[in-house]
């Protein structure tokens, strides 16, 4: 008995549809590099944001030296900030201060900045910069 041309094509299509050995491995091999780049990229950017928060917190805590010590200098501020930093070297943090008097009250205006990069694998590093200001009331003699 001779099979029809259409039936032979349907049988052949069923056999090809079921033969998928290795297809998942090839698809995974194609997607894996992108997945690795994405995962490490998210991790590095999250780490950079964490470091920026650490610097912000250290400057906030260190700036309190002006509240307790009326003769504090910029070097005293830098030492106080460094004592609160864990993962960031103080050399990578830029601090500047200026004394302001409004009415009869004196305050210290502190400007800080910190820059880092997020080195994402197979891509160029992404520069990330953080800046902020604090106005701290100065202690009176």
Per residue in 15-35, pLDDT (tens digit) is: 666 656 677 778 888 899 999
The model's confidence at residue 87, banded by pLDDT at 50, 70 and 90, is very high
Residue 118: what pLDDT? 85
DSSP 12-45: HHHHHHH--TTHHHHHHHHHHHHHHHHHHHHHHH
Residues in the chain: 141
User: Which of 45, 91, 97, 36 is closest to 66 using CA atoms?
Assistant: 97
Contact 65, 77 (CB under 8 A): yes
Domain locations along the chain: 5-137
The model's confidence at residue 96, banded by pLDDT at 50, 70 and 90, is very high
Contact 112, 88 (CB under 8 A): no
Distance, CA of 133 to CA of 140 (rounded, Å):
22
In the predicted model, is pLDDT for residue 61 greater than 80? yes
- Please say whether the dihedral angle defined by the alpha carbons of residues 70, 62, 108 and 95, taken in this order, is positive or negative: positive
Residue 104: what pLDDT? 81
Distance, CA of 97 to CA of 110 (rounded, Å):
5
In the predicted model, is pLDDT for residue 1 greater than 60? no
Backbone region of residue 22 per phi and psi (left: phi > 0; alpha: psi in -120 to 50; beta: other values): left
């Amino acid at each position: 008995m001779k099979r029809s041309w259409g039936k032979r094509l349907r049988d052949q299509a069923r056999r090809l549809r079921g033969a998928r050995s290795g297809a998942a491995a090839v698809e995974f091999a194609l997607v894996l590099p992108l997945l690795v780049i994405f995962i490490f990229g998210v991790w590095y950017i999250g780490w950079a944001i964490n470091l920026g928060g650490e610097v912000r917190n250290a400057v906030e805590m260190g700036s309190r030296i002006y509240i307790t010590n009326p003769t504090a200098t910029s070097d005293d501020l830098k030492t106080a900030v460094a004592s609160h930093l864990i993962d960031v070297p103080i050399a990578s943090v830029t601090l500047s201060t200026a004394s302001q008097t409004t009415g009869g009250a004196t305050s210290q205006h502190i400007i800080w900045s910190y820059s880092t990069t997020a080195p994402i694998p197979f891509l160029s590093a992404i520069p990330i910069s953080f800046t902020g200001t604090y106005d701290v009331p100065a202690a009176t003699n």
